[in-house]
């Protein structure tokens, strides 16, 4: 019964998201006609915008979220008969992808950061409207992500908070839809250029390497979208492209990527060569009539405001963005937090080790020898080996001795240089694969390989080859998840049928320790009779006593 209820809510949420996609497809058809799969992705951007906006005034409780879910469901029912063509074209793909992803949704072991701050922050959104200075409660509340705001909308009656991983599923599924239809479109139009192969490689990579949804966190969802972002940027320089259409897609992608992880704001640099190249085109005037451009802009604004209200910094832990005069400002803590993130990313800290002199360790390239020993071998080296094995399979699948003369435009080389610049920034400041490294390392290899193989492609049985590789990647995806579930059954006594939900530690989250200390200190303060003691009240306690939030007494 629990599994049936779990899957029922899974299906209802999917139907609601499709409903929002159909709504935008209908409303925006006279503005800019982008593909339906991008309107699905745009619906996630809209829901994130709505979540940010309402959180300033309301908590995301059952009533709030049920209304949002019902609106999407009603939209689906209303457009079902009006948009028969779209439904018919996309239904089998949506059904297949979300059906396969069901196996990834079933998990008891969550991401290591999930109990630390993903769940607590998302749960906080469902219990309270904005609390100024909440970043002082626990370190992890200083770095909000849009995926927390998206997931907070899936706090629903009966299922409660057990679909707080739905955001990653939706991004993963819709990204797969985009890549499949990109491959299909290029095949039908016989555009077998390097963008076609980059799309295929991205699809294979995402499903083989990012098979475990619980590991996505705030990082891998963004990196999946980064693959699609560069595919669209490279597509700008194809013949006979609709610039306004592609720019709309880029705004959707950048809006999601940057809001998922603040340091991805660096990816805005890809706009500069593009804007410079097309600055004389009239389509720039249409930006101010573009719905998704406004969503992109407002989400960026809301993200900064939330950061300021949480920590007193527009982009924590970048100390220069902090406002020291704000009472709740964490200006002093920002620099030490930034150093800690850098130390961790450079293998100077881990669950079982710390370097003796962290400040000196992270300077320059002092960290490189230890990073190579502790992290490159075997995490990065194994990852690179896996990439080369994937490229080898694709090479032998499509390679032919017949050379095709294809000219690569100079603009494409400029974009590739930007990828290298982003890679160098990643390597120097935060060289951990989870912090953007997966996508950058893969793109550095995929782009030149795609250019090369497109010049020696064999089109014989091309469709069968493409379908075979796609099916193979999905078989690997399913197989690895079955293996994962079997392991969780043995290791964690996971029962898929009676309790298909992820595990929540009833001993409470780490934030409770801080809460209890504050309560003890407050009581000691009262006992000593100090008149300047700040009072707190405890609110938002789950029935399993999982998480506390404090706010000042009025």
Same domain, 348 and 450: yes
> Does the pLDDT value for residue 30 go beyond 80?
no
Residue 503 lies in a domain: no
Who contacts 24 (Cβ-Cβ below 8 Å, separation ≥6)? Answer: 39, 42, 43, 46, 291
How confident is residue 533, by pLDDT bands cut at 50, 70 and 90? very low
Mean pLDDT for 511-519 is 46
Lowest mean pLDDT, pick from 93-97, 285-289, 525-529: 525-529
The answer on pLDDT for 521 being more than 60 is no
What's the rounded mean pLDDT across residues 68-77?
96
For residues 66-81, give the mean pLDDT.
Answer: 94
Quote the pLDDT of residue 297: 93
Residues 270, 369 within the same domain: no
Domains of the chain: total = 3
Q: Which pLDDT score, from 0 to 100, does residue 311 have?
A: 94
- Domain identity same for 307 and 338: no
More confident residue, 442 or 280: 442
* pLDDT for residue 407: 84
* CA dist., res. 295 & res. 24, Å (int): 13
CA dihedral 280, 281, 285, 286 (to 10 degrees): -160
Query: Within 10 Å of residue 246's Cβ, how many Cβ atoms?
Result: 17
| In-domain check, residue 316 | no
Name the average pLDDT for the chain: 88
Q: Which residues pair with 353 in a beta bridge?
A: 350
Is 506 inside a domain boundary?
A: no
pLDDT tens across 324-370, in order? Answer: 999 899 999 999 999 999 999 999 998 788 999 999 999 999 999 99
Report, as an integer, the average pLDDT of 504-510.
Answer: 51
124 and 180 fall within a common domain: yes
> What percentage of residues in the chain have a pLDDT greater than 90?
69
- Calculate mean pLDDT across residues 174-192: 96
Q: How far apart are CA 311 and CA 267, in angstroms?
A: 24
Per-residue pLDDT band at 546 (split at 50, 70, 90): very low
More confident residue, 124 or 231: 231
Q: What angle do CA 41, 46, 49 make, to 5 degrees?
A: 130
Q: Is residue 234 part of a domain?
A: yes
**Between 14 and 87, the higher pLDDT residue:** 14
Are 246 and 283 within 8 A, CB to CB? no
444 upstream amide cis, omega within 30 of 0: no
115 or 182: which leads in pLDDT: 182
549 band by pLDDT with thresholds 50, 70 and 90: very low
Say whether pLDDT at 519 is over 70: no
Residue 86 sits in the same domain as residue 226: yes
**In this model, does residue 535 exceed pLDDT 60?**
no
Whether the per-residue pLDDT at 117 is higher than 90: the answer is no
Q: Are 442 and 520 part of one and the same domain?
A: no
CA dist 538 and 536 (Å) reads 7
Residue 529 has pLDDT above 60, yes or no: no
pLDDT digits (tens, 9 = 90+) for 44-60: 999 999 999 999 999 99
Task: Inform me whether the pLDDT recorded for 536 exceeds 80.
Answer: no
Determine the average pLDDT of the residues in 508-536: 42
Q: Are residues 268 and 335 in the same domain?
A: no
Could you tell me if residue 202 is inside a domain? Answer: yes
In a domain, 108, yes or no: yes
Q: Could you report the per-residue pLDDT of 99-111, keeping only the tens digit for each?
A: 999 999 999 998 8
Q: Are residues 474 and 523 in the same domain?
A: no
Asked whether residue 98 falls in the same domain as residue 199, the answer is yes
* 87 or 316, greater pLDDT: 316
pLDDT value of position 282: 58
Does pLDDT of 450 surpass 70?
Answer: yes
Per-residue pLDDT, averaged over 449-470, amounts to 93
Considering the domain architecture, whether residues 350 and 482 belong to the same structural domain is answered as no
Please state, in angstroms and rounded to a whole number, the distance separating the CA atoms of residues 44 and 252: 9
How many Å apart are CA 52 and CA 70, to the nearest integer?
19
Over residues 213-232, the mean pLDDT reads 94
- Residue 544: domain span: 511-552
Contacts 24+ apart (CB under 8 A), 418-426: 418/269, 418/270, 418/273, 419/230, 419/443, 419/444, 419/447, 420/444, 421/269, 422/266, 422/267, 422/269, 425/266
Are 94 and 232 in a shared domain?
yes
Beta bridge mates, 551: 537
Q: How much is the pLDDT for 277? A: 66
Question: Structure pTM?
Answer: 0.91
What pLDDT is attached to residue 350? 83
With a CB cutoff of 8 Å and minimum separation 6, the contacts of 419 are 230, 440, 443, 444, 447
């Amino acid at each position: 019964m629990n599994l049936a209820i779990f899957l029922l809510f899974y299906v209802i949420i999917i139907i609601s998201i499709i409903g929002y996609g159909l709504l935008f497809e209908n409303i925006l058809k006279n503005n800019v006609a982008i593909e339906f799969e991008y309107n699905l992705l745009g619906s996630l951007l809209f829901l994130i915008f709505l979540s940010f906006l309402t959180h300033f005034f309301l908590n995301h409780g059952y009533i709030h979220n049920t209304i949002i879910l019902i609106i999407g469901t009603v939209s689906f029912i209303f457009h079902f008969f009006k948009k028969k063509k779209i439904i018919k074209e996309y239904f089998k793909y949506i059904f297949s992808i979300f059906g396969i992803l069901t196996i990834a949704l079933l998990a008891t072991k969550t991401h290591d950061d999930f109990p630390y701050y993903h769940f607590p922050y998302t749960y906080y959104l469902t219990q309270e409207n904005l609390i100024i200075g909440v970043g002082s409660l626990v370190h992890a509340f200083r770095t909000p992500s849009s995926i927390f705001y998206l997931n907070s909308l899936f706090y629903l009656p009966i299922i409660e908070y057990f679909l707080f991983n739905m955001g990653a599923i939706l991004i993963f599924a819709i990204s797969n839809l985009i890549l499949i239809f990109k491959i299909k479109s290029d095949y039908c139009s016989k555009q077998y250029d390097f963008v076609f192969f980059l799309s295929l490689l991205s699809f294979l990579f995402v499903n083989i390497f990012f098979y475990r949804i619980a590991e996505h966190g705030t990082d891998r969802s963004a990196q999946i979208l980064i693959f699609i972002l560069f595919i669209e940027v490279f597509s700008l320089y194809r013949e006979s492209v609709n610039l306004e259409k592609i720019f709309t897609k880029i705004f959707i992608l950048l809006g999601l990527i940057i809001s998922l992880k603040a340091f991805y704001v660096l990816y805005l640099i890809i706009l500069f060569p593009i804007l410079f190249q097309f600055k004389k085109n009239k389509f720039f005037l249409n930006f101010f009539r573009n719905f998704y451009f406004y969503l992109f802009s407002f989400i960026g604004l809301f993200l900064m405001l939330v950061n300021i209200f949480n920590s007193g910094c527009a982009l924590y832990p970048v100390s220069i963005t902090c406002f020291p005069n704000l009472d709740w400002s964490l200006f002093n803590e920002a620099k030490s937090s930034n150093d800690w993130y850098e130390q961790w990313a450079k293998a100077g800290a881990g669950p079982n080790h710390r370097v003796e002199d962290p400040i000196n360790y992270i300077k320059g390239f002092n960290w490189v020898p230890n990073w190579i020993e502790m992290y490159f071998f075997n995490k990065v080296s194994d990852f690179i080996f896996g990439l080369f094995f994937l490229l080898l399979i694709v090479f032998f699948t499509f390679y032919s001795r017949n050379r095709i003369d294809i000219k690569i435009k100079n603009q494409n080389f400029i974009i590739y240089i930007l990828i290298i610049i982003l890679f160098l920034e990643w390597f120097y400041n935060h060289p951990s694969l989870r912090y953007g490294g997966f996508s950058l390392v893969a793109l550095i290899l995929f782009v030149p390989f795609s250019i090369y193989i497109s010049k020696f492609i064999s089109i014989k049985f091309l469709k069968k080859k493409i379908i075979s590789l796609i099916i193979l990647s999905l078989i690997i995806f399913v197989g690895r998840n079955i293996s994962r579930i079997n392991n969780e059954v043995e290791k964690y006594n996971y029962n898929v049928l009676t309790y298909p939900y992820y595990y929540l530690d009833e001993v409470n989250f780490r934030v409770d320790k801080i809460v209890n200390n504050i309560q003890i200190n407050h009581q000691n303060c009262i006992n000593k009779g100090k008149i300047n003691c700040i009072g707190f009240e405890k609110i938002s306690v789950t029935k399993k006593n999982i998480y506390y939030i404090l706010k000042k007494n009025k």
